Amino acid sequence: MAGSNLFRKKTVQDILKQVAKNEADGHAALGRHLTAKDLTAFGIAAIVGAGIFSTIGKASADGGPAVIFLFLFTALACSFAAFAYAEFASMVPVSGSAYTYSYVAFGELKAWIIGWALIMEYAIGNITVAISWSDYFTGLLESGGIHLPQWIQMDYLTASNGFKDATALMQSGKSFENLSEGLKVAYTAWTTAPTIGSFHFVADLPALFIIILITALVYRGMKESRNASNMMVVVKLCIILLVIAVGVFYVDTDNWTPFAPNGVSGVLKGVSAVFFAYIGFDAISTTAEECKDPQRDLPRGMMWAIIICTVLYVIIALVLTGMVNYSLLDVGDPLAFVFAKLDLKWMSGVIAVSAVIAMASVLLVFQMGQPRIWMSMSRDGLLPKRFSRVHPKYKTPSYATVVTGFVVAIPALFLNLTMVTDLCSIGTLFAFVLVCAGVLVLQNKKDIPRGKFKTPYVNSKYVVPFLLAAGLIYAFQFNTKATMGFITNETQTFKAQDIVTSLNKEDSRKVYAYLQNIEHLDKGAVAADLENMLSKYQNDDSRYATVVAGLPIDNALKYESGFSLFKHKIPMWIFLFSLIGLTIWSFKENLSLIPLLGLVSCLYMMAELSVWNWIYFTIWLLIGLVIYFGFSRKNSKLNFIQ
């Protein structure tokens, strides 16, 4: 009996009754101000931000112009998930998003897990956006002649890791001037920061500033947040259209050749960055209780936001890769970079201003979503009662909003941008997977009240097995080498920079002597840049493999093999076995194709993230389970009903 309580479910009828009783329980109703147009604007505000102003650069550098296919694939996957969100939002038009939907479909334990994952999505997502905003803001100040010390505009982990890598590269012969811009900045921040003993005080203070400002705005009310968001959306859309209108005249179609320079693997390498560009449309569903007609407007808002943003992303990607060679785009501010490269500095300034506005609007939407998740969990007794407190004047979840500010602000001072981006992506994808699965679980249940929106039904019974068979034929017939390398766990050679940064002084001396010998250099020559000497062989795979094989260092520094290599493939193996299970399920139960494709697409993107993200995410979920069994389970309102 105790075990069954873990999966006790809420009915749609009970949820709707609970909303009606909120005021009697001391939970005042939220103000209803939002229309479909406002929801679309919120979606654009959330989506058009760090993705188009920052992460699009790294993704384009990896995939070349073909990165547009990754944008289209990701948009398609998000659209499938959006159908599932829209159906649930129409069925259960209350705050809570995927958490509330999972409570209906799977029961309390899984609802808690998804709610805990959503805390990661919104909190970590906010941290990511705050750090990106800080980068653009300090860059804007720099262009205006205001120079802040590096140690107050960078997170601790980036500075620490950058200092270590820069030191290793300089020991191998690279001069400080020849380091990448990011490493130079990190090295400077670390070496100039105030110290307390061995601790270096490096913290991103501008990120703290914007979080405090946005939290105060969200606390004040939905109407104020809506007006600010709509204004920022108009500004950044105008700027993006200006970028396209001006940039198209500088496109050189030769830059689109080759279209996919690094093949499919290069395109897929940007999955995390590109998916992060779409995170945010699901935040719309947390505003259900503040919509005038949630059952009609929520689906429309989600779909229009994804469609508009996808069109913008594809056009921007084509313009960027047409203006300069894709290989130059691995920078933090790609839009400003390409115009500066073409000596259009006035455009760079305009873009920098719009990026600051865009990042702020993303943070606004994310900072609205988090408190409303907590409010819903608190209403159910899974979090302390104060989290569901609504401000009597501003009609916002006041306590939860303030706590959100602290939860986001403190880590933003110290955490690394890449780490938080990937963590945010895996938390969000996990939520998408469960929402899509929830629609599939409920599709044949007759006692569930249906809303105005229902996902169009297409029987997947034969479609999914056919797609699986087609994928296997492609893998073994046309991509044989990569497929067999994956299955047999074929040893991989480290890249030049990875090898060089792992060397000690003695190993560096040996490697330099070896390269000096095969290149027939004068023994008395001044020490050269070891990374550059080794990197130039990477353009020829067979030659690089031969050179690395001859390096007079331990094989562990040259190759990755065995379990250390296999562990990175574990997420993909999980996906493949899950795909087989889903194919069998679809054949037996005649599952609806659209939510099933959403589940498969999102699970695949999770598999493309590193195993470390899965490990960190698992640790996060385990912490959540400790809280659930220690507090939430016994305080759940369902505990007093059953």
Instruction: Say if residues 371 and 118 touch (Cβ distance below 8 Å).
Output: no
Q: Is the pLDDT of residue 238 over 60?
A: yes
Q: Is the pLDDT of residue 100 over 90?
A: no
Confidence (pTM) = 0.77
Instruction: Say if residues 511 and 503 touch (Cβ distance below 8 Å).
Output: yes
Q: Is the pLDDT of residue 31 over 80?
A: no
Q: Cα(154)–Cα(138) distance, rounded to whole angstroms?
A: 10
pLDDT band at 640 (very low <50, low <70, confident <90, very high): low
Facing residues of 382 across strands?
A: none
Q: Is the pLDDT of residue 306 over 90?
A: no
Phi, psi of 323 (to 5 degrees): -75, -40
Residue 312 CB partners (closer than 8 Å, separation 6+): 48, 52, 240
Per-residue pLDDT, 32:
65
**Alpha helical stretches, state H, 144-254:** 156-171, 181-192, 205-220, 222-247
Q: Is the pLDDT of residue 635 over 60?
A: yes
pLDDT, the chain, mean: 79
Residue 105 CB partners (closer than 8 Å, separation 6+): 9, 437, 438, 439, 441, 442
Q: Cα(207)–Cα(472) distance, rounded to whole angstroms?
A: 46
Q: Cα(74)–Cα(601) distance, rounded to whole angstroms?
A: 8
Q: Is the pLDDT of residue 26 over 50?
A: no
Q: Cα(628)–Cα(631) distance, rounded to whole angstroms?
A: 5
pLDDT band at 441 (very low <50, low <70, confident <90, very high): confident
pLDDT band at 526 (very low <50, low <70, confident <90, very high): very low
Find tokens 């990607």 and name the residue.
Answer: 317
Instruction: Say if residues 621 and 113 touch (Cβ distance below 8 Å).
Output: yes
Per-residue pLDDT, 27:
47
User: Any idea how long the chain is?
Assistant: 642
Per-residue pLDDT, 580:
93
> Between residues 467 and 22, which one has the greater pLDDT?
467
Instruction: Say if residues 578 and 603 touch (Cβ distance below 8 Å).
Output: yes
Strands (E) in 476-531, as ranges, are: 492-493
Identify how many contiguous H helices and E strands the chain contains and give both numbers. Answer: 30, 4
Residue 237 CB partners (closer than 8 Å, separation 6+): 44, 48
pLDDT digits 0-9 by tens, 394-404: 777 878 888 88
Q: Cα(48)–Cα(68) distance, rounded to whole angstroms?
A: 16
Q: What is the DSSP letter of 326?
A: G
The tokens describing 434, both together, are 């469960």
pLDDT digits 0-9 by tens, 581-620: 999 999 888 888 999 998 998 898 888 888 888 998 888 8
Q: Cα(596)–Cα(288) distance, rounded to whole angstroms?
A: 24
pLDDT digits 0-9 by tens, 308-330: 888 888 888 888 888 888 888 87
Find tokens 């995410």 and name the residue.
Answer: 617
H helix or E strand, kind and range, residue 172:
none
Mean per-residue pLDDT for 175-202? 80
Q: What is the DSSP letter of 308?
A: H
Q: Cα(104)–Cα(10) distance, rounded to whole angstroms?
A: 5
Find tokens 């989290």 and name the residue.
Answer: 387
Q: Cα(492)–Cα(495) distance, rounded to whole angstroms?
A: 9
Residue 273 CB partners (closer than 8 Å, separation 6+): 51, 55, 56, 58, 59, 421
Q: Is the pLDDT of residue 332 over 70?
A: no
